[in-house]
Amino acid sequence: MPRDSRNRRRAFACGVAAVATLAHVPVAIAVVTMLRRFGTSCSIPVGIAWAIFMGGLFTVVALRSFPDRRTSPRAAALWVLPCSIEACAAFFALFPSALATLPVLLCEVACRVPTRLPTEVYSWSYAVGLALSAYGTLVRRRRVRVVKRELRIAVLDRRLDGLCIAHLSDLHIGSLTPKSWGLEWARIATRHAPDLVVVTGDLITSGTDYLDDAADVVGALRAQLGVFVSLGNHDHFGDVLALMSKLTQSGARVLRNEGTVLEHRGARLWLAGVDDTWPRRADLALALAGRPDGMTTLLLSHDPRIFAQAARNDVDLILSGHTHAGQIAVPFAVETLNLSRLTTPYSAGLYHQGRSTLYVNSGLGTTGPPIRIGAAPEITLLELRPS
């Protein structure tokens, strides 16, 4: 391994370990509090040992995920998923614990009166976090939602009225999102008989162990006009050329800064795709080169931040993913109250600018913690209508 790579990996490991240690400080206190309630005499060393062990295990799991190596389902079930559930619970407990502790410390400093730490808050936060994390990891991320949307397009040949597009994104096929899940997603999408299927990037998480699995999932998709793919940032965390080759062999077409004309019912549609913005290889001008004047344009872009540029270039519909709707969102308000809103204004759902429409898919897989709460995995069926 080159020295620069080793240094980056060492820095990443130190950062993860520091964050994990901080998150497990309230956990240690919560475990001590719980054990004392049952009369355990060695509660303090057990609580400290638990926090150190789980923090270290989380660091190991995080490091092992880059690159994503092939893992047996039994290993994932026995230690990777439980570790992820516990880590998510620790991070969940960190915020209410900090909010409860801050006024206590301020009061002690201002009034110079000894006070007790709110250990009950730590305990309840950790317990609730474990329950929510287990649900989000073991249940919610496996329940796929089929979203049906009718989109009004200003410049749409009336012969394309009713054109159905199945939109999938962020599959993240890998050690925690097995090929069997992806094949089921393909069956669900194909069951609705779409005219066109598009996949907007992040077919894998990282590495090269799951390239064949991702290609098999895409190869199981079917549509009259074909299956088209754009690349995401995680697709570059491995061998992107090998991935493209395998996708092509599976029957899909990868649009990497290029476009093509689709014909349907005698009408024509310009379908384009850009490479991802993370490696700075997205080239919208190249993707739109050769587009006939006045033709309805559909753009595949993993990153929705290209929306403003696409709108300035009269792109009628942009399909994106990338955000996963934050993976954690408030139920019934997913499109406005989710974690990805902290980093982008285009977090989930529909957005409009002039004649252009953007749809951000919440994705199917996960990255980072394998958890979804509120933000359900999504297969979208988009039906185009003239405005």
Contact 160, 296 (CB under 8 A): yes
Task: Check if the beta carbon of residue 310 is closer than 8 Å to that of residue 329.
Answer: no
- Indicate whether 185 and 323 sit together in one domain: yes
For residue 288, the number of C-alpha atoms closer than 13 Å in the C-beta half-sphere is 21
Give, for 101, the enclosing helix (H) or strand (E): helix 81-111
Ranges assigned E (strand) in 21-180 = 145-153, 164-168
In the sheet that holds 349-353, the strands lie side by side as 258-264, 267-273, 297-300, 317-320, 356-360, 349-353
Q: pLDDT band for position 114 (50/70/90)?
A: low
Q: Could you read off the pLDDT of 30-88 as tens digits, one per residue? A: 888 888 887 777 888 888 888 888 888 888 887 777 788 888 888 888 888 998 998 99
DSSP state of 79: I
Say whether pLDDT at 2 is over 70: no
Say how many CA atoms lie within 13 Å of 305 toward its Cβ.
14
Give me the mean pLDDT over the 133-150 stretch: 95
Mean pLDDT of 238-247: 96
**Summary mean pLDDT of the chain:** 90
* Amino acid found at 6: R
104 and 191, same domain (yes or no): no
The answer to whether residues 54 and 160 belong to one domain is no
Domain boundary among 138, 171, 204: 138
From residue 211, give the alpha-carbon distance in Å to each of 69, 203, 247, 333.
Answer: 11, 8, 9, 35
Q: Is the preceding peptide bond at 67 cis, omega within 30 degrees of 0? A: yes
With a CB cutoff of 8 Å and minimum separation 6, the contacts of 371 are 84, 85, 88, 133, 136, 137, 140, 141, 327, 328
List % helix, strand, coil for the chain (3-state, nearest 5). Answer: 45, 20, 35
Look at residues 121, 138, 155 and tell me which one is the last residue of a structural domain: 138
> Do 112 and 198 fall into the same domain?
no
Determine the structural domain holding residue 107 and report its residue range: 3-138
CB 318 within 8 A of CB 356: yes
Q: Are residues 250 and 122 part of one domain?
A: no
Last residue of a domain, one of 101, 116, 138: 138
By the 8 A CB rule, do 279 and 288 touch?
A: no
Q: In angstroms, rounded to a whole number, what is the distance separating the alpha carbons of residues 243 and 248?
A: 9
Q: Which helix (H) or strand (E) holds 380?
A: strand 378-386
**Same domain for 108 and 184:** no
Q: What are φ and ψ of residue 212, in 5° steps?
A: -65, -40
Place of tokens 């529909």: 350
Predicted pLDDT at 73: 83
When pLDDT is averaged across residues 256-279 and rounded to a whole number, the result is: 94
Is 40 strand, coil or helix?
A: coil
**Co-location of 152 and 115 in the same domain:** no
- 7 & 100 share domain: yes
188 and 311 in a single domain? The answer is yes
The 3-state DSSP class for residue 159 equals helix
- Which residues does 310 contact at the CB level (< 8 Å), separation at least 6? 284, 299, 301, 318, 356, 358
Per-residue pLDDT at 24 exceeds 90: no
CATH code: domain of residue 294: 3.60.21.10
Give the distance, in angstroms, between the CA of residue 345 and the centroid of all CA atoms in the same chain.
Answer: 16
Q: 182 and 324 share a domain?
A: yes
* Shared-domain flag, residues 51 and 174: no
23 and 96 in a single domain? The answer is yes
User: Phi, psi (5° rounding) for residue 195?
Assistant: -75, -30
Task: Mark residue 290 as left, alpha or beta (left: phi above 0; alpha: psi -120 to 50; beta: remaining).
Answer: left
Q: Cβ-count burial of 323 within 10 angstroms (0-12 exposed, 13-18 middle, 19+ buried)?
A: buried
CA-based end-to-end distance of the chain = 56
Q: What is the pLDDT of residue 5?
A: 60
For residue range 322-380, what is the model confidence (pLDDT) as tens digits? 999 999 999 888 888 999 998 899 999 999 999 999 999 999 999 988 999 999 999 99
- Overall domain count for the chain: 2
Length, in residues, of the chain: 387
